[in-house]
Amino acid sequence: MKATDTYLKTKDRVDLTAMIDVVFLLLIYFMVTTTIMKQEADLGIKLPTSVPAAPDTPLPEEHLVDILSDGGILFNGAPLGEPAGFQLPELVGLLTQIRASSERAGFKTLILINPDEMTEQQAIVNVMNACVEAKVTSVTFASGE
Q: What is the pLDDT of residue 34?
A: 79
Do 64 and 115 contact (CB within 8 A), yes or no?
no
pTM of the model as a whole = 0.56
In which domain, by residue range, is 8 found? 3-33
Kindly state whether residues 80 and 10 are assigned to the same domain.
no
Tell me, yes or no, whether 49 lies in a domain: no
Kindly state whether residues 21 and 68 are assigned to the same domain.
no
> For the chain, how many residues are written?
145
pLDDT 10s digits, 9-23: 556 677 888 999 999
Kindly state whether residues 28 and 73 are assigned to the same domain.
no
Tell me, yes or no, whether 129 lies in a domain: yes
Number of compact structural domains in the chain: 2
Kindly state whether residues 28 and 83 are assigned to the same domain.
no
Q: What is the pLDDT of residue 56?
A: 56
Handedness of CA 68, 47, 100, 125 (dihedral sign): negative
Q: What are phi and psi of 85, to 5 degrees?
A: 70, -125
pLDDT 10s digits, 6-55: 555 556 677 888 999 999 999 998 888 876 655 555 667 776 666 665 66
Helix or strand holding residue 99 (H, E): helix 89-105
User: What CATH number is attached to the domain comprising 100?
Assistant: 3.30.420.270
- pLDDT of 79 higher than 80: yes
Kindly state whether residues 16 and 74 are assigned to the same domain.
no
